[in-house]
Structure 1
Amino acid sequence: MWLVVACVPLLPAILVACARYGVDAASLCRGAVAWALRLLRGRACAKSTHAFVFSRCTHGQADSVLRTFELYADTRPSPCIGPVTGEALDRALRRLGPSRVLELGMHCGYTSVRVLRLLPSAGRLIAVELDPLAAELGEEVILVAGFKHSQVHGQFQVLTSSSAEAIPTLGLFLEVNRGISEGLDMVLMDHNPGQYLPDLLALEREGLLRPSGCSVLLIYSSRRAAADGGEVMDWIRARPDRYSVKSELPFMTEIFYQNKSTRVDE
């Protein structure tokens, strides 16, 4: 019963994706259930993870926060992506040098801190997290790592909502608060793999992906999660005019979006 309740907020997005884009409903539903299980497990360990990191790290030092996360994850269940995937993320960040990054699914803030420490001084991270507890604890961890929070001049902003609700608001949010019209340089998807394709379609439809080039990193917590998100890769490979696959690792795939034309393909 609790799985049904947890997945109810995802039903509108699932139905819209199935009707509009022909996405397989069974695959999306499996992804939704897997994500709900991950969410509940994440809530179970979020408080203990936060308490451990908060009490043992050196406040104001991002690298210390990351090492403390990893120390915790060595012996306990943890929602953080871990150092192997984290180092792959670091390489992508250093190679691409993004200034405007969107993170869908922040969990306890580990990935957010990894990203923020490699952004330029004027860079900005927008993190979207559905679970209010994870969003609150993750935001505290980011602050402990030494990053500033402000809607106008801060280095990051946390939005507590579903990705489906957040994405249509991001264009106005970025334009009003930062004067950005070029779109996002990088998108990290680390939430519900069944939502990866609908969210990618929504980001493109809203004009949030920088036309001259935007990297999208798809992060998977397990091989099963990668299988649940497989439809997004089929969709990408069928559109070589706009998308290309840059790298595929066991738990992270990097794709690249580029569209210099103003024409919108239906």
Structure 2
Amino acid sequence: MSLLVFSVPLLLVVAVMKALSRSPLSALCRQVYSGILKLSHRKVCVSSTHAFVFSNCTHGQAQSVLLTFDLYSTTHASSNIGPQKGTFLDEIVAREAPLRVLELGTHCGYASVRILRLLPPSGKLLTVELDPLTADRGEEIILVAGFKNQQFQVLTCSSAEAISSLRSHTGNDGLDLVLMDHDPELYLQDLLALQRGNLLSSSCVVLINRALTPGARDLLEHVTARPQSFSVGRQLHGLMEIRCHTGMSPKPQN
């Protein structure tokens, strides 16, 4: 009998806790808390990564900057795509020779440096970063690597804001390469926004990082269901190549 008296209140407490855990307010609190943790961790990571690269690389040498990034990532957690995916990215940039590149997610500037060192002389990179600290540190690393402000621009805003104002930065030129390395849950809506704005060249390549995560599922379902508009190419450790077959007229040949 005493066991029953003890168990009934305990069951009520468990039931109340379960109900609260499913409430919209509880879900919102968890999302906010998770976002704060991610942002805090990211800022610490960015600051320490920036300090290491800035202090240990040879300034003005892009390859030294990349090697220093890679050295740091051997002993520290890093959000950079790393040398294996980086080599894959290099192959795409060298093959496509893009004149206009959009990068969504600057992080510490690692992929930006890899792209910029392979662009044609008239090529330009627009890289987008929501967090002001990350954007500032990333831009400084790009400059340390030896690139000039006329070769790139860091936009400190959301991907949606950047895409809506893209015409003011590219004029009538379409994007030849897009690297999505921000929030995978935004991949599809950002791709659709780029298409609605007629911002992609006729054979634009879109590279998505973390393609195998649940957040990227909507984009993959969208492109695979439309073979007339997209073709999925190679994939390496979650970095996936998607070619868009609809867009602006082809860019003039140099």
Partner of 2:80: 80
Where 1:229 maps in the other structure, the secondary structure is helix
State the match for 2:113 in structure 1: 113
CA distance in 2, matches of 1:75, 1:250: 20
Aligned residue for 2:53? 53
Q: Does 1:240 align with 2:227?
A: yes
Measured in 1, the distance between the counterparts of 2:155 and 2:76 equals 28
TM-score (norm 1): 0.79
Distance in structure 1 (CA, Å) of the matches to 2:137 and 2:103: 16
The match for 2:158 is: 162
Taking the aligned partners of 2:216 and 2:101, their CA distance within structure 1 comes to: 21
The C-alpha deviation readout for 1:227-257, integer Å capped at 9, x for no partner, is 2211101100111111111112222010000
Match of 1:102 in 2: 102
CA spacing shift, 1:94–1:2, aligned 2, 3 Å: farther
Question: How is 1:190-229 mapped onto 2 (pairs within 5 angstroms)?
Answer: 190-210=181-201, 212-220=202-210, 223=212, 226-229=213-216
The 3 A distance-change label for structure 1 pair 251 and 38 is farther
SS at match of 1:51: helix
Task: State the structure with more CA Rg.
Answer: 2
Q: Indicate how the Cα distance of structure 1 residues 118 and 157 shifts in structure 2: closer, same or farther if over 3 A, else same.
A: same
Shift of 1:39: 4.3
**1:254 equivalenced with 2:238 (yes/no):** no
Highest RCO, 1 vs 2 (Cα 8 Å, sep ≥ 6): 1
Matches within 5 A, 1:135-154: 135-149=135-149, 154=150
The percentage of aligned residue pairs carrying the same residue is 52
* Runs ≥4 residues deviating over 3 A: 1-6, 35-40
8 Å Cα contact 1:80-1:108 kept in structure 2: yes
Contact 2:174 2:248 in 1 (8 A): no
- Residue 113 (structure 1) shift: 0.3
Q: 1:217 to 1:240 in 2, by over 3 A?
A: same
C-alpha RMSD over aligned residues: 2.0
Could you list the runs of 5+ residues in structure 1 that have no partner in the other structure? 7-32, 176-180
Q: TM-score scaled by structure 2?
A: 0.82
Aligned length: 222
For residues 225 and 218 of structure 2, what CA distance do their matches in structure 1 show? 11
